[in-house]
Chains A and B, each alone.
Chain A
Amino acid sequence: MHHTANEVEHEPESVIQRRQRIGLVLLTIFSLAYGGFIGLCTFAYTWISETSVAGVPLTVAYGVGLIAMSIAVAMIYGLMNREAK
């Protein structure tokens, strides 16, 4: 068995730890937004179903917002780590 092309970058431990910290902070922020959405759908069903944002039901606006936030968080993480490197 040969393991040729796969490379393991030997980064300093401090860089790896900084990246892990950034990852955990961003994940915590997103988890709160996701958990809040699930919590509202489950335990404030009537309120979230009847509230609107710019004529669009809050359920849909929040859901679309979460998808947009996922993409934004991913890009922020990518940019922050490019700087870190």
Chain B
Amino acid sequence: MVYETSSIAIAVFLLMVAGTVGLSFYLGARARSSHGYFAAGGSIHWFVNGIAFAGDYLSAASFLGICGMIAFYGFDGFLYSIGYLAGWLVALLVIAEPLKRLGKYTFADALASKFQSDGIRTAAGFSTLIVSLVYLVPQMVGAGALVKPLLGLAYWQGVALVGSIVVVIVVTAGMVSTTYVQFLKGGLLVLFSLILTVLVMMRGVEVHPEGARSNPQRITVDADGAKYVDGVRLGLKESERNVAPVGRVLEMADGSTKTGPLGPVGYLRAISGSRIELSSPAKKSIEDGRPVVEYAPRVVDGRAMMAPGNLPTFQGIRRAEVYPKLDFVSLMLALFAGTASLPHILIRYYTVRDQASARKSTIVGIGAIGFFYLLTLYIGFGAMVSGALDPSDSNMAAPLLAKSFSELLFAAVSAIAFTTVLGTVSGLIVAAGGSVAHDFVAGMLRIQLNDSQMIRVAKIASIIIGGLAILAGLAFEGMNVSYLVGWAFAIAASANLPALLMLLFWKGTTKQGIIAGVVVGTLASLFWIAVCPEMFKTMYGLDPARAWVPFSQPGLVTIPLSFAVIVGVSLASVEKIEDRRE
């Protein structure tokens, strides 16, 4: 679809993005010491840090991805909302305060604190880098997909633009500016999502006056890249044709044509009782050597859209076979266990003053993030019946819903979505850069660095990691963003969470056990992903039935494996030490 934007909309978009980057530069100039650069001097107020948690965590996958998934596949998108939030309780109830008590800058600090071990520090630094890089991939893929329709740029240009801006932000700034940017972004995201939700409920549900659309839309791409819709060139001019939007209510349960304003429960009831016309997933073929994508109308029952299993990756839960069901369980376990293991979330605990602030900021974060995820239900279903969905791009559901209300709202929501990508990517790069400086250079290599050298090492590392993120974003174009996020969570949960929990709750844990658990958890989940059915299908172009493992999400196997390795190696290493004593 081609989007028409007014000059006011573009001005609002540019103003908001410039404001975010400008604030980052201004605050960045104030962080001179390494403690200021890496941990904001431990001076951030717990409330600001709590909202910044929301800014850090609510990535493009959360906002654009979930709303788009709900708009096209209903309840399945909301399952991600539930899983993403549930993981925060693990962070609050068992991780937040010990992490703050034991560490100074990085997750590795806390893990290595009991044994003062460089081996643990190196293993944890290694897992931090891997998780950050894997989590950067979906962010960059989302960035490319988002910038393409918003600014009319090619995918690679979008990825390169976001990667470059973020590297500039990180290199010129630090944790203080990153925190305030996240605070601003998190606050704006929740506020504008609330505005969108209120507007959706005020509009209510309405039967579309034109009724059902019977013909599919066929988009053909020429050798020179020109696109045609049903044979007419794609565009906004009179002689051209745009892709027609989808998502209309055909009939309501009580036979009425308009509900008027509704409350939160009434809105869900109205959607549940409606018949809705959406678009089928793209059917791709080659005709006369030209690729053709067809979007056929499909009529769905609102009630059926509130059941799980509509999303292609979740359809397995409706089948009798066990492995597709285990794939779903494995993903939901990874979301639950992965949040409290994400490096860019964990480093935020070092920006506040003490354990009580760590606890309070997590509670504020859970409140803001939980409230936002409730709103995704209404934004998603609101987009589903807005008549404004782009059948060729589910990521645009929330911005296009905003556009159905006003151009200005579209500009504001698009700008927030863009800063969302910037915010999460910069948080990840700060975490990874800090880990290189503290865990590898100062910890593993034992190179003594002064403050400014430490910051310089982190900045150089950030530039390299930013470059790698751009390359990864280009390599994984077209992959399902939510699936990629699921993998990042699975690796984080397998590598970091078992080690942290065992260190805190089992006195028999040894240094060797932790190192083995982190390394095996990281490598096993990476290996599983490399040989899973989804990779065979999407990346290697091979028959997924030939994959080496039966399902694609590794968490269900690799998280328990990591626990088992820690217990086994700890017991074995204690016995060895005792044998030597004898």
Contacts and interface: CB of A to CB of B under 8 A. Distances in A.
Interface of A: 1-9, 11, 16, 19-20, 23-24, 26-27, 30-31, 34, 37-38, 41-43, 45, 48-49, 54-57, 59-60, 63-64, 66-68, 70-71, 73-75, 77-78, 81, 85
Contacts of A7: 42, 353-354
Contacts of B504: 20
A8 B75 CA distance: 43
Interface stretch (B7-15, B165-173, B359-367): B359-367
**Chain A facing B: main interface SS:** helix
A38 B42 CA distance: 38
Contact of A45 (B35, B97, B318, B505): B318
Interface of B: 33-35, 39, 41-43, 75, 78-79, 81-82, 85-86, 88-90, 92-94, 97, 100-101, 104, 265, 268-269, 272, 303-304, 306-309, 317-318, 325, 328-329, 332, 336, 350, 353-356, 359-360, 362-363, 366-367, 370-371, 373-374, 377, 450-451, 454, 504-505
17 contacts: A1-B450, A2-B451, A8-B355, A9-B101, A20-B504, A23-B94, A49-B304, A54-B265, A55-B269, A55-B272, A56-B268, A56-B272, A63-B75, A67-B374, A70-B85, A70-B366, A71-B370
A62 to B, nearest CB: 9
A20 B41 contact: no
Contact of B93 (A2, A23, A43): A23
Nearest to A34: B86
A3 B344 CA distance: 20
A63 B82 contact: yes
A20 B94 contact: yes
A34 B81 CA distance: 13
Contact of A59 (B81, B307, B360): B307
A6 B350 contact: yes
B75 A60 contact: yes
B92 A77 contact: yes
Nearest to A27: B93
B97 to A, nearest CB: 7
Contacts of B100: 8
Given A42-B329, A77-B92, A70 B268 contact: no
A46 to B, nearest CB: 9
Main secondary structure of the interface of B (DSSP, over half): helix
A45 B308 contact: yes
A2 B359 contact: no
A70 B89 contact: yes
A41 to B, nearest CB: 5
Contacts of A55: 265, 269, 272
Nearest to B44: A5
Given A70-B89, A74-B366, A78-B360, A60 B354 contact: no
Contacts of A60: 75, 78, 268, 306, 377
Contacts of A4: 35, 41-42
A15 to B, nearest CB: 10
A83 to B, nearest CB: 13
B299 to A, nearest CB: 18
Nearest to A60: B306
Given A9-B355, A38-B329, 10 more contacts: A6-B42, A9-B354, A26-B93, A45-B317, A48-B307, A56-B269, A70-B85, A71-B366, A74-B92, A75-B363
Contact of B363 (A2, A6, A41, A78): A78
